[in-house]
Amino acid sequence: MLPALTLGLLGSGWYSRMVRSSMIEVLHQDFIRTARAKGLSRARIVFVHVLPNAIVPVIPMIGIDIGVFMGGLVVVESVFGWPGIGQLAWQSIQQVDIPVIVGVTTLSAVAIVLGNLLADLAIPLVDPRIDIKQH
């Protein structure tokens, strides 16, 4: 639990700050004023109207930061003695084991590309105004 919590805390401050600034920006838009004028509750406005619009710019950041998390694995696995891909990469670099280094690098690159792809595909699910079809 502690290694996962450590990796999760790595970007939590950055993401919370980005979501906060995005939410402040969305709160000043006209459709929020309209929702308030309709008499919607504050919680409904925040969770139904503001948060889905504010989270859209943060989703691609998460996809891009997968590389940062992969780099953080090396430190977290070394500190906690947790055998994993980060520790394997570090041991391979120390022993100059080229095939393992290439394999770990390739696997990390595929994970980063898939993370970016999934982040880009998740945006239309969160914001229905974004259409992925070509016109």
- Report domain extents, the chain: 2-126
- pLDDT, tens digit, for every residue of 9-54? 877 888 899 999 999 999 999 989 999 999 989 999 999 889 888 8
Beta-carbon contacts of 108 under 8 Å, excluding residues fewer than 6 positions away, are 67, 70, 85, 89
Q: How confident is the model at residue 134 (pLDDT cuts 50, 70, 90)?
A: low
> pTM, whole model, 2 decimals?
0.71
